[in-house]
């Protein structure tokens, strides 16, 4: 017997008994032109704004106004070491040690800076392995790295592809690739959670496979950070990077996170680009001394960071720290499981969920493949007040985020999807709930 039930009353009962339901009130929920809350299911693209973000940013604006340059030392949160205010909370979110984590730059920039260190090709070992349907920016980045080092960007790119008529990637296929080409592959660079299918990869298994064949291993965790337990330290990965504007709710284009495993923390001879913010903090402002590198992930910094962006990140991370990632994961599995249960009522002849059914192999995103559909279906959902994400040719991505989405949100999404599929009129949520 399923632990889930049909009907709106079940959803409302779950929300009533949800200990994290109160956190929804700590976020700004977008509204329609009539002032009703939209059903926001795109936290996998841009997370909602915590209500406390404005106060955190305003604090820095006030200190800038009142203190000028002295804010570096005299601000309520002194700017000189502001990134350190984020380290412990971010380390908890991604399952790392504080020495392994720093917030800096933006995602693809971080990947490039990390590849300076961890992509060290030779004439024989120069190939880079990625998912065949990696996020486009990742593909562009590794192709440009190949070109930068003088290699052909097509011949040097090894693609881990799904099997025929399948969407998900298979680890046995990865093993085969490495057995056949491992001595030519310098680096594996995989998305921790695939942006399209929502498949959450076994980072430790992939890392062990890569290291077994002498490859360095890194992950783009843009769709994993704040969504799934990444356990980056235990994975053994050499490096990882992630954005903070999706599940970490820091605002559009905000700064990114960076992980470098502690076994590399004191390798001063490891090739890298450097700048004054990776120099010894105690002598940084002496200006004329020789470069003295900071140990750990901080040693990959280049420039002093934008404080206003970091203030927005701090506002969100303080919420994560308050809730605890374990509780978020528990709710996420329950909420996404309920979403899956309702979607399956629509029938296999109508939709196919291409995201793994195993809760340990996915986060909160479900990618819904709709048979014989085009973007007009997505348009209908949008008109009904459901903010989701359309990916060509036939997939709708929805992410019920445990910090601010409710079970009632999930119920209404599926109700509206059902009505849109039937091509009926009157898909507005309030009308549906009266039926």
Residue 353: give its domain's CATH number. 3.90.1150.10
Asked whether residue 58 is assigned to any structural domain, the reply reads: no
Per-residue pLDDT, 352: 94
Asked whether residue 119 is assigned to any structural domain, the reply reads: yes
Whether the Cβ atoms of residue 199 and residue 355 lie closer than 8 Å to each other: yes
CATH code of residue 135: 3.40.640.10
The domain boundary residue, chosen from 321, 347, 382: 321
Tokens of 293: 């590198």
Per-residue pLDDT, 284: 87
Per-residue pLDDT, 286: 85
Spatial neighbors of 151 by CB under 8 A, at least 6 apart, are 121, 126
| Closest to 201 (Cα-Cα) out of 133, 125, 111, 119 | 133
CB atoms within 10 A of CB 67: 15
Shared-domain flag, residues 102 and 18: no
Shared-domain flag, residues 115 and 257: yes
Shared-domain flag, residues 257 and 343: no
Per-residue pLDDT, 423: 67
pLDDT tens for the 435 residues of the chain, in order: 469 999 999 999 999 999 999 999 999 999 999 999 999 999 999 999 999 999 999 999 999 999 999 999 999 999 999 999 999 999 999 999 999 999 999 999 999 999 999 999 999 999 999 999 999 999 999 999 999 999 999 999 999 999 999 999 999 999 999 999 999 999 999 999 999 999 999 999 999 999 999 999 999 999 999 999 999 999 999 999 999 999 999 999 999 999 999 999 999 999 999 999 999 898 888 878 899 999 999 999 999 999 999 999 999 999 999 999 999 999 999 999 999 999 999 987 889 999 999 999 999 999 999 988 788 889 999 999 999 999 888 899 999 999 999 999 999 999 999 999 886 443 334 434 433
Asked whether residue 36 is assigned to any structural domain, the reply reads: yes
Shared-domain flag, residues 347 and 317: no
Q: What range defines the domain where residue 152 resides? A: 82-321
Shared-domain flag, residues 367 and 235: no
Q: Is 308 helix (H, G, I), strand (E, B) or coil?
A: helix
Shared-domain flag, residues 335 and 427: yes
Asked whether residue 12 is assigned to any structural domain, the reply reads: yes
Per-residue pLDDT, 239: 98
Residue 109 to residues 90, 102, 137, 166: CA-CA distances in angstroms?
Answer: 19, 14, 10, 32
Strand ranges inside 192-295, DSSP E: 216-220, 239-243, 256-260
The Cα 392–Cα 381 span in angstroms is 16
Asked whether residue 57 is assigned to any structural domain, the reply reads: no
The domain boundary residue, chosen from 321, 350, 385: 321
Shared-domain flag, residues 335 and 306: no
The domain boundary residue, chosen from 271, 304, 321: 321
Domains contained in the chain, number = 2
Strand partners, 366: 398
Asked whether residue 77 is assigned to any structural domain, the reply reads: no
Shared-domain flag, residues 317 and 328: no
């Amino acid at each position: 017997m399923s632990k889930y039930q049909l009907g709106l009353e079940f959803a409302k009962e779950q929300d009533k008994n949800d200990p994290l339901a109160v956190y929804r009130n700590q976020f700004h929920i977008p509204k329609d032109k009539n002032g009703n809350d939209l059903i926001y299911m795109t936290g996998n693209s841009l997370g909602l704004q915590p209500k406390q973000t404005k106060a955190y940013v305003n604090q820095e604006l006030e200190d800038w106004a009142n203190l000028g340059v002295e804010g570096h030392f005299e601000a309520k949160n002194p700017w000189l070491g502001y990134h350190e205010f984020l380290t412990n909370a971010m380390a908890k979110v991604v399952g790392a040690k504080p020495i392994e984590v720093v917030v800096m730059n933006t995602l693809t920039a971080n990947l490039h800076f990390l590849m300076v260190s961890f992509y060290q090709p030779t004439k024989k070992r120069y190939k880079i392995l990625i998912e065949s349907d990696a996020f486009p920016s990742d593909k562009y980045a590794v192709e440009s790295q190949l070109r930068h080092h003088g290699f052909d960007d097509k011949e040097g790119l090894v693609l881990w592809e799904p099997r025929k008529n399948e969407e998900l990637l298979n680890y046995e296929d990865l093993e085969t690739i490495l057995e056949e080409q491992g001595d030519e592959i310098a680096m594996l660079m995989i998305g921790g959670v695939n942006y399209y299918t929502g498949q959450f990869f076994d980072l430790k298994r992939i890392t062990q496979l890569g290291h077994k064949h002498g490859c360095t291993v890194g992950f783009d965790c843009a769709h994993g950070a704040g969504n799934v337990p990444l356990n980056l330290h235990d994975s053994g990965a050499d490096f990882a990077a992630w954005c903070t504007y999706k599940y970490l709710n820091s605002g559009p284009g905000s700064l990114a996170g960076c992980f470098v495993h502690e076994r590399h923390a004191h390798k001063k001879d490891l090739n890298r680009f450097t700048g004054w913010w990776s120099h010894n903090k105690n002598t940084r402002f002496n200006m004329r001394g020789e470069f003295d590198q900071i140990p750990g992930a901080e040693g990959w910094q280049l420039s002093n960071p934008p404080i206003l962006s970091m203030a927005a990140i701090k506002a969100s991370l303080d919420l994560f720290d308050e809730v605890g990632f374990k509780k978020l994961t528990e709710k996420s599995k329950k909420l996404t499981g309920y979403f899956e249960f309702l979607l399956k009522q629509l029938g296999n002849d109508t939709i196919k969920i291409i995201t793994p059914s195993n809760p340990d192999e996915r986060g909160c995103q479900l990618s819904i493949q709709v048979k014989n559909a085009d973007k007009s279906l997505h348009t209908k959902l949008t008109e009904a007040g459901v903010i989701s994400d359309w990916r060509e040719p036939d997939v709708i991505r929805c992410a019920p985020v445990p910090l601010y989405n409710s079970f009632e949100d999930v119920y209404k999404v599926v109700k509206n999807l059902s009505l849109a599929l039937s091509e009926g009129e009157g898909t507005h949520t309030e009308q549906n709930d009266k039926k």
